[in-house]
């Protein structure tokens, strides 16, 4: 996210960061702005997850999920969200806020189509149970990341390396087809994305002081929502491996 970091440094250089020891009015204004910024991120993230769930249910009930799952379309539907994530992350400065919003909603729809196949594998009740368990865990972890005074920055590089390791291990298990390896990957995945939820929440909160009053602030809301969305969805999918009852 080099473009985002450049925008943050520019905002700091031009004095958008509230000065330490400023007046009470400035502090109150900053806190109110931070709350609105984070609330906007959570609103977008929650709306995206709900849209994904609705699309997944509709695709399953219409029979589209089965059509996608048992055809070459599953590769298109599965890889398209990844392409959008890369485009949004590395092209944020080139896109307008409106374009990023459209890309976010398109991503949520495609994720819904991709995730619709879980209804072919797991029972609806276990999917619902896992979803609410994930929501409760996410809320607690995000609240911790938002309120803790301890810096979580040291976790960042470790957790990103863990995500890369998960991807490599998952690719290897495509050939091994080992149930034990599968559950080990799922367990580690839950821990990694639990940590990322707290870390990303704190990072998004801290970045606000550099992004406030800049033209990038609106884009940061969409990108922040995308980040937390990915943390939630990945934690949900890994938890489903343990809590889901198969059809």
pLDDT of 225 reads 97
Q: What is the dihedral of CA 141, 142, 143, 149, to 10 degrees?
A: 90
pLDDT of 60 reads 95
Q: Average pLDDT in the 233-244 region? A: 92
Residue 1: band (very low, low, confident or very high) from pLDDT cuts 50, 70, 90: very low
Closest CA to 98 of 197, 222, 234: 222
Residue 244: band (very low, low, confident or very high) from pLDDT cuts 50, 70, 90: confident
pLDDT of 125 reads 93
Q: Average pLDDT in the 169-175 region? A: 89
pLDDT of 24 reads 65
The region that residue 63 occupies, defined by phi over 0 for left and psi between -120 and 50 for alpha, beta otherwise, is left
* Residues 122 and 240 sit within 8 Å (Cβ to Cβ): yes
* Residues 13 and 99 sit within 8 Å (Cβ to Cβ): no
CA dist 239 and 237 (Å) reads 5
Residue 54: band (very low, low, confident or very high) from pLDDT cuts 50, 70, 90: very high
The encoded tokens of residue 205 equal 């909160």
Task: Find residue 173's DSSP bridge partners.
Answer: none
Residue 18: band (very low, low, confident or very high) from pLDDT cuts 50, 70, 90: very low
Query: What percent of the chain has a predicted confidence (pLDDT) above 70?
Result: 89
* Residues 45 and 225 sit within 8 Å (Cβ to Cβ): yes
Q: Average pLDDT in the 157-182 region? A: 90
CA-CA-CA-CA torsion sign (153, 190, 75, 65): negative
Phi, psi of 194 (to 5 degrees): -65, -45
Residue 28: band (very low, low, confident or very high) from pLDDT cuts 50, 70, 90: confident
Q: What is the dihedral of CA 112, 116, 119, 121, to 10 degrees?
A: -120
Residue 29: band (very low, low, confident or very high) from pLDDT cuts 50, 70, 90: confident
Residue of higher predicted confidence among 176 and 229: 229
Residue with the two structure tokens 């799952």: 69
């Amino acid at each position: 996210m080099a473009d985002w970091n450049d925008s943050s440094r520019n905002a700091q250089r031009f004095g958008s960061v509230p000065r330490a020891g400023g007046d009470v009015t400035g502090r109150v204004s900053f806190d109110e702005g931070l709350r609105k910024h984070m609330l906007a991120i959570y609103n977008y993230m929650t709306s995206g997850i709900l849209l994904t769930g609705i699309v997944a249910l509709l695709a399953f009930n219409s029979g589209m999920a089965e059509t996608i799952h048992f055809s070459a379309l599953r590769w298109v539907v599965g890889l398209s969200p990844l392409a959008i994530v890369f485009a949004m992350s590395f092209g944020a400065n080139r896109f307008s806020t409106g374009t990023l919003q459209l890309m976010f909603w398109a991503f949520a729809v495609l994720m819904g189509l991709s995730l619709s196949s879980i209804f072919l594998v797991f029972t609806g009740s276990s999917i619902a149970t896992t979803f609410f368990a994930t929501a409760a865990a996410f809320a607690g972890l995000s609240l911790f990341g938002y309120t803790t005074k301890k810096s979580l920055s040291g976790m960042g590089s470790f957790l990103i390396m863990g995500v890369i390791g998960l991807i490599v291990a998952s690719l290897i298990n495509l050939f091994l087809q080992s149930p034990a390896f599968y559950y080990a990957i799922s367990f580690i995945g839950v821990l990694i994305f639990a940590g990322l939820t707290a870390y990303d929440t704190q990072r998004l909160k801290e970045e606000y002081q550099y992004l406030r009053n800049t033209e990038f602030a609106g884009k940061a809301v969409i990108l922040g929502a995308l980040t937390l969305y990915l943390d939630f969805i990945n934690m949900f999918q890994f938890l489903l491996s343990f809590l889901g009852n198969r059809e």
